[in-house]
């Protein structure tokens, strides 16, 4: 019984099913180049810094006000700006991945 294959994790099985599904649908998997990886890392670092800056400013504003209505408004504004940065980052990363180099 030395030719037994090792058991696969549920993640490995799921990835195989997804790869087969993509292959059946005609979706080609294109590996990300080193240049793309570097550009994606740069975009992630940029937006990580922007979000960290936004959070520091938000905490500063929250510490300066005790009015519940204004705090709620500040929290909504923070979430909206954070969502904007996150979606912009994700869009740019997807664009880089599709660029093919």
Q: Is residue 20 part of a domain?
A: no
CA distance 59 to 61: 5
More confident residue, 15 or 52: 52
Kindly state whether residue 39 falls inside one of the protein's structural domains: yes
Domain of 47, in residue numbers: 31-99
Q: Does residue 91 belong to any structural domain of this protein?
A: yes
Report the predicted TM-score, pTM, of the whole model to 2 decimal places. 0.71
* Domain contains 48: yes
Mean of all residue pLDDT scores within the chain: 91
pLDDT (tens digit, 9 = 90+) per residue, 38-84?
A: 999 999 999 999 999 999 999 999 999 999 999 999 999 999 999 99
Pairwise CA distance, residues 98 & 101, whole Å: 8
How does residue 2 score in pLDDT terms, banded at 50, 70 and 90?
low
- For residue 88, being part of any structural domain is answered with yes
- Residue 44: per-residue pLDDT: 98
Domain count, the chain: 1
């Amino acid at each position: 019984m030395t030719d037994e294959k090792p058991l696969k994790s549920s993640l490995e099985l799921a990835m195989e099913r997804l790869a087969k599904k993509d292959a059946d649908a005609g979706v080609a998997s294109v590996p990300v180049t080193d240049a793309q990886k570097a550009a994606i890392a740069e975009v992630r670092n940029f937006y990580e810094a922007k979000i960290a800056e936004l959070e520091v400013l938000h905490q500063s504003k929250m510490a300066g006000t005790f009015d519940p209505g204004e705090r709620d408004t500040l929290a909504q504004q923070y979430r909206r700006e954070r969502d904007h940065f996150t979606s912009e980052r994700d869009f740019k990363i997807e664009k880089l991945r599709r660029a093919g180099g």
